[in-house]
Structure 1
């Protein structure tokens, strides 16, 4: 596609992202920053030029499934798009998966990884979904896999060689549902000295991967729990494992470059990760990795949309002046930028904790903080990405609604984020359950207090006070609602979780702005003020509604049912 055909231009996406650069300057030691900057600069240039051009040229292409070859043999070959093929070369070359496993930078290795991912994600048509499942599989095998798997599969998953690099899927979802694992029907049977899988996985995002971790119910009935099984999908010769059939590629609203498949398992050979009925306990870290990736995908897509809209607003004129000079348009864009920056700092706070855990330097209090933050970060950023990209589309006017600009695809893609790895409702209930455990709510309180202690400027202190007030209001509501009715908090769980998430975003923005004042000037203070002005307390307007509504719904038909 020619330069003139683009709706907007992009410059080097590392140089142009002052938020990423400022954050890295604050948190990284000078030697680590110097070590990773060249790769970030290189990948930022590729994302803005080669990959952006390729995305637009490849816009109409989607993965294709060929089930049979000319000789009538079942092959189930999935042909990926050109962007995905390029992504599967760049990911290992830049260490998008390898970085945290190499531990070259200790506790900062996850920051290194997700800084790379921040540039890689929006330029590669949702290939990040596959990176997320690959990362989760690598983490699971490195911690819980057998010596054989650590010696065979793990080096491929973390390889920097495109020829040796493996990708991995996580196959859990069935037609009965995704979050309720008790309803999984796929069976793992031990037959003639070999575990084999039988059943149908209704939704798999990576059937073209080299391997998968599959959740299944072990037979016979002597096993009570679920098992997590290592399933080789393709050999070095790229042939499909016997017993795996791709029934079809799903036709999705968005993320259409992702080869989402329905899989039939008919005796596919596999091996258990740990005891065959204790798979549930191996899911925790894998899910934490996936939800962190989900948050970073949300953040990266917000960044891409804003970057495109900003360039467009500088070149598009209305009534004689560029639209960026119109006060209302500028205010709208400033609000989107503030939301992006809040989501960025919240997500990278989670990334910091992951890196410390893997380097062995995470305290017990920080372990509570990691577990408490994960569902809140996932649900908050996912919803913000949908809200921001909707405004980005509107910022382009009619052009934003035209498919050949690529903006509609951007908006459709982010709608996968509130669904993948747990819907907003599911994540809200997980957050509610987690924060009721001893120590977890206190970990979030301590985080707010740390932010407050770092802030001295009056405007920023006021912002932190606003964050703490919203947080206290949410906690007080939870206590009061529980006293009125044990189930009442469930009705307000979304508003509770969003209030907690946005309060943390505001506090983290203020903490960063205090540092930025001394090193970069006052821009970050304006971001904090803009974020605070948008309102973060979703509890106050309906504080006593939830218990009342629950009581009414038990005695009469609800409006929703009517």
Structure 2
């Protein structure tokens, strides 16, 4: 008997997304425990109801009636006014007042400590099932709060920290991060914006242009600029909070030139900003801005990966509901072998992306909550390897999954009346935001070279494999063990290459690390489930290994693989599986 009845749904909405997503629950269960898990579960369940109903409905309307910019008033005065539909305000109120940002900085009622950042990413996953665009400003608000909490000093910055972590939507200041300049793009060191000091300590005037500014009218925007006589490159950049308006209500000296006419993520206004002597409040020390900004960048990359997983989850839900209800040639299309195979592999990709992302999120939490410098450094080194890979691979997977979900819905999926149209448009920005695939792959090389990130990475893979001892996992772990050895050899060989040759292999390496690490992680998670009496995830691990690591002869055509037919209900519909069914029979005694 299947645990989830997709045929009972009309579309992938008007259900509690947390209750309907065992994949997310399992990933959170693995990395949170005790009081953290209990508190997070209660709040995730409550927000899952909002995400699956009100936000899911409003997001479709907002996609057609997004924010509008009025740069100038009737008399030619600069007003920089972004007008939002009421439905988007209601979405944002539900997100912020559910504690998506506040809970990880201030303890919710009934707790002494804030929740881990993993909770924020899980909330963002649920929000992204309905509106990935809105998660952009929410995550940036969390990112600004993180930077101010760690590096901010003084009454003005303390005020912005309090406002970005407010539980009251009407008292909230949203955050943003303006990095991109037209001449620089991913080359942040090419920033041309300058910051001139004023007579007031810590207050500067910023002049320059920012080219791709999401959440353009945020009250607490972090921007990078170069102070006089600062060196070139990222080492000469300082970090500033640039408010939308001053405490007295007067606009800051900047011009919002236009909003971008984007393919998707309509719910977040993205535009061009011209800084014309805008007031900026220095965060931390001069010329250390990029280093501080990387804390926010790592958070944003994990938020991007969480959003990707949320879109994968929603696309998968829509596709599975369609396959359970749509009949062709007298039968629901889910009964046909090719569709079963596609839905199985979509489910396996969902499990893989989510497991890897929340493993990376756990390393982010360990770094932020480390008890000493040694623990902090160990977590940081692993995080430096996992975070860029998580962002890179899940972004591509979100595009592919949304595209195929659209195909399963057929012509309906292609038109704007059905959500797969928006899911694909929203997903397409995820490989671009916070670093493209090439930039992320090169970042992995830097982590290996500068932080020796391969050491904790390989240790963690081995730890996963050492845990996966159940007989049902024996075949899968044998393949992963062999690939683990090959990965170690590949990493060693990479160290012998010159810079250009190594760069040519960067993306292949990121893919290889993802596949081996995820395979070992799924085996470890399957071990836990097997011990609890469920073999479903052992099937998922086996399928991931077979499709990503175990090269099939004859392109798999000659192997008579019937996995998708035999295990469809288990993998796609989350049916519980007796471990005995997935454990190979012991050889008979002669």
Counterpart of 2:470 in structure 1 is 457
CA distance in structure 2 between the aligned counterparts of 1:499 and 1:80, rounded to whole angstroms: 43
Pairing 1:10-159 to 2, within 5 Å after superposition? 10-102=14-106, 104=111, 109-159=116-166
More deviation in 425-434 or 381-390?
381-390
| Secondary structure, aligned partner of 1:404 | coil
Q: Does structure 1 residue 203 correspond to structure 2 residue 216?
A: no
Question: TM-score scaled by structure 1?
Answer: 0.89
Q: What CA distance in whole angstroms lies between the structure 1 residues aligned with 2:114 and 2:70? A: 44
Matched with 2:288 is 278
Give the match for residue 213 of structure 1. 222
* Corresponding pairs, count: 534
How far off its partner does 1:426 sit? 0.6
Residues 269-295 of structure 1, C-alpha deviations (whole Å, 9 max, x = no match)? 112112222212212211111111111
Alpha-carbon RMSD: 2.4
Distance 1:23 1:519, change over 3 A: farther
> Equivalent residue of 1:76, what SS?
strand
Secondary structure of 1:49's aligned partner? helix
Give, in angstroms, the shift of residue 481 of structure 1. 5.1
- Separation of aligned partners in 1, 2:224 and 2:19: 42
Distance in 1 separating the partners of 2:522 and 2:538: 9
2:506 corresponds to = 493
- For residues 363 and 151 of structure 1, the distance between their equivalents in structure 2, rounded to whole angstroms, comes to 25
For the residue of structure 1 that corresponds to 2:223, the secondary structure is strand
Q: Using the TM superposition, name which of 9-18 and 134-143 deviates more.
A: 9-18
Please tell me whether residue 527 in structure 1 is matched to residue 540 in structure 2. yes
Q: After superposition, give the CA deviation of every residue in 1:349-379 in whole Å (9 maximum; x if it has no partner).
A: 1211222222234453223111221111111
Query: Corresponding residue for 1:247?
Result: 257
The Cα shift of 1:482 comes to 5.1
Answer whether contact 2:62 2:267 (CA < 8 A) is retained.
no
Contact 1:482 1:488 in 2 (8 A): no
SS at structure 1 position matched to 2:186:
coil
Matches within 5 A, 1:499-538: 499-519=512-532, 521-536=534-549
Counterpart of 2:489 in structure 1 is: 476
CA drift of 1:508 comes to 1.1
Helix, strand or coil for the counterpart of 1:59?
Answer: helix
2:334 counterpart of 1:324: yes
Structure 2: unaligned runs, 5 residues or longer: 1-8, 552-590
Deviation at 1:182?
Answer: 2.1
CA contact (8 A) 2:220 2:244 kept: yes
Q: Output the CA distance in 2 between the equivalents of 1:222 and 1:498.
A: 36
Q: 1:45 to 1:78 in 2, by over 3 A?
A: same
- For the residues of structure 1 that align with 2:322 and 2:347, how far apart are their CA atoms? 15
C-alpha distance 436-464 of structure 1, shift in aligned 2 (>3 A): farther
- Residues 95-151 of structure 1 deviation map (CA, whole Å, 9 limit, x = unaligned): 101122125575962222222222122223411111222111111111111132453
Distance 1:317 1:61 in 2: 34
Which residue pairs with 2:238 in the alignment? 227
| Residue 437 of structure 2: aligned partner | 424
Q: Which moved more, 1:269-278 or 1:245-254?
A: 269-278
Residue 313 of structure 1, CA deviation: 1.2
Cα distance in 2 for residues equivalent to 1:486 and 1:359: 35
CA–CA separation in structure 2 for the residues paired with 1:264 and 1:134 = 21
Gaps of 5+ in 1: 539-562
Cα displacement (A) at 1:268: 0.6
